[in-house]
Amino acid sequence: MFQRDLGIDLGTANILVYLKGEGIILNEPSVIAINDNGGIIAVGEEAKAMVGRTPGNISASRPLKDGVIADYETTVKMMKYFIDKSKKSRFFPSKPRVVVCAPTCVTSVQIRAYKNAAKQAGAKEVFIIEEPFAAAIGANLPVSEPVGSMVVDIGGGTTEVAIISLGAIVISETLKVGGDEMDRIIESYIKKKYNLLIGERTAAEMLHALGIVQGRGNGAFQPDETITREEFAKMLALASGMKTVNFDAQTFADVPRSSWSFPYIEQLAATGQIQGEDVQGLHYYYPNRNITRVEAAAIINRNKALTGAPIKDIFRDFKQIPDWGRDAVTQLWNDHWISGYEDGNFYPFRTLTRAEAAKLLANLPTQEK
């Protein structure tokens, strides 16, 4: 690697850019805000501050999920922004060589997506390195020696475990569980033991105080991050204490059996708590879309089966709430499950944040269903 080459760690929550001789030069949230025309409004810290607060024509989201590219075009725009931002010196090459970290579980198709995205973003050459191997090098482990070194990389949604020896990964495993699940377990324990409801931020602070996990970047828990429809489905299933079972049938065309969210979504669909959309004879759930406040309200209301409150204009923008969501919003507001903003609006089409999801789901009684 020569002086002006870059190393990029594309994480679901944060993106880090390393420059040899200078160290980490950028460490910002992996969030980008774009308008309806595809134009970039903000990236990184500025975009993160907009999450959950954007008007209908602007979307602030994370283009990566579990460390893997979920939205290719948006990922290219975000990478280009950070590569361009790294070119502080006039001696910086117009097209640097780039090393990109990727999970060990990526497929050959996903690897091509990483390489193509980086090249479209302005890289001359792109090299892929597995995240556990990069972590081992960063920790000064003897990766080239004939001894075994174990790396356990705990992220928000996944945990990667790898054994490294003689300059290569001997064996690795990726688990679809990480810091988010630890937070949920702590919340559930505190609720059962002390009848006290805590949010995700408090759970994360407890984990940090116990030395179980450490924050990334600036150490923030990122409560303002958006949440997708499949993430919300998993959180709801776990918060409700549902037991996932094996399903032979596939309800939604865009949620295959190989998807990590399949058992959660199928369980909720089987109990009538989530619904999809019929398009040309196929049923779609749109798992990677960010869930809106009104969508979450409708799902929670089906879970709780709340009834009785008369539908009325409880928010200034109540008439903007779609017909299918008005009853749910009214019932949840009447039972003090949800609230509006200080300006008196509900903003039904704003994306739900992690903090808002935690507040909603913390009220659910954990029971076997």
What are the counts of helices (DSSP H) followed by strands (DSSP E) for the chain?
11, 15
Average pLDDT over residues 41-69: 78
Q: From start to end of the chain, where are the E strands? A: 6-10, 14-19, 23-29, 32-35, 40-43, 58-61, 64-65, 68-69, 98-102, 126-130, 149-154, 159-165, 168-175, 277-279, 282-284
List b or e across 280-315, with b for residues whose CB sees 16 or more CB atoms inside 10 angstroms: eeebebebbebbbbbbbbbbbbbbbebeeeeeeebb
Model's pTM, two decimal places?
A: 0.51
Residue predicted with more confidence, 217 or 113? 113
The whole-number pLDDT of residue 216 equals: 35
pLDDT of 1 above 50 = no
Question: 299 with 267: CB under 8 angstroms?
Answer: no
For residue 77, the one-letter residue type is K
d(CA 287, CA 331): 26
Q: What confidence category does residue 218 fall into, taking pLDDT thresholds of 50, 70 and 90?
A: very low
Nearest residue to 160 via CA among 127, 130, 181, 139: 130
Question: 182 with 213: CB under 8 angstroms?
Answer: yes
Tokens at 93, concatenated: 């090459």
Tokens at 65, concatenated: 């999920």
Q: Which domains, and CATH codes, for the chain?
A: 5-140 (3.30.420.40), 226-362 (no CATH)
d(CA 75, CA 16): 14
Residue predicted with more confidence, 270 or 200? 270
For residue 58, the one-letter residue type is I
Give the dihedral sign, CA 293/299/300/301.
Answer: positive
Per-residue pLDDT reduced to its tens digit, 330-353: 988 887 788 888 778 899 999 988
The whole-number pLDDT of residue 336 equals: 77
The whole-number pLDDT of residue 212 equals: 42
SS3 content of the chain, % helix, strand, coil (to 5): 35, 20, 45
Residue predicted with more confidence, 245 or 240? 240
The whole-number pLDDT of residue 90 equals: 54
Per-residue pLDDT reduced to its tens digit, 292-310: 999 999 999 888 766 666 6
Out of 9-23, 229-243, 320-334, give the one with best mean pLDDT: 320-334
Q: What confidence category does residue 367 fall into, taking pLDDT thresholds of 50, 70 and 90?
A: very low
Radius of gyration of the chain (CA): 22
